[in-house]
């Protein structure tokens, strides 16, 4: 049924600040940049910013996890750029580590690092 993560949309109260923050932390320029939506292509996955806060409560219970090569470095960089650690780095088995931060706009951003498998 599910194939891969395709799109993650973060609702934000200030789309300009959010756009700049995500440009800074990803090093990617948006491919779509309008007042009602900003879209980034992160290696084939859409990271969208939506300023419409209708029926949106800050920080929901769903967390999308972004793959990273070095989770310690990623958490450090995000923290230095204003993210708040929600769940510290933890080993979850088979060489996989996860962590969760809140971006400055209250969205949960999951990070996941997997050891390369030796076949």
At residue 52, what are phi and psi to the nearest 5 degrees? -80, 110
Spatial neighbors of 110 by CB under 8 A, at least 6 apart, are 63, 64, 65, 66, 98, 99, 100
- Rg of the Cα trace of the chain? 15
Question: Is pTM beyond 0.85 here?
Answer: no
3-state secondary structure of 58: coil
pLDDT score of 119 more than 60: no
Contact 42, 28 (CB under 8 A): yes
pLDDT score of 77 more than 90: yes
pLDDT score of 27 more than 90: yes
pLDDT at 75: 96
């Amino acid at each position: 049924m599910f194939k891969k993560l395709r799109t993650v949309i973060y609702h934000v109260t200030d789309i300009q600040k959010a756009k700049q923050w995500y440009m800074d932390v990803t090093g990617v320029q948006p491919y779509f940049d309008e007042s009602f939506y900003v879209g980034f292509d992160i290696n084939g996955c859409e990271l969208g910013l939506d300023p419409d806060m209708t029926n949106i409560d800050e920080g929901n219970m769903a967390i999308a996890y972004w793959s990273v090569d070095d989770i310690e470095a990623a958490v450090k960089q995000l923290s230095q750029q204003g993210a708040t650690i929600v769940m510290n780095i933890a080993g979850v088995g088979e060489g996989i580590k996860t962590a969760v931060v809140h971006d400055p706009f209250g969205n949960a951003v999951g990070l996941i690092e997997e050891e390369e498998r030796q076949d």
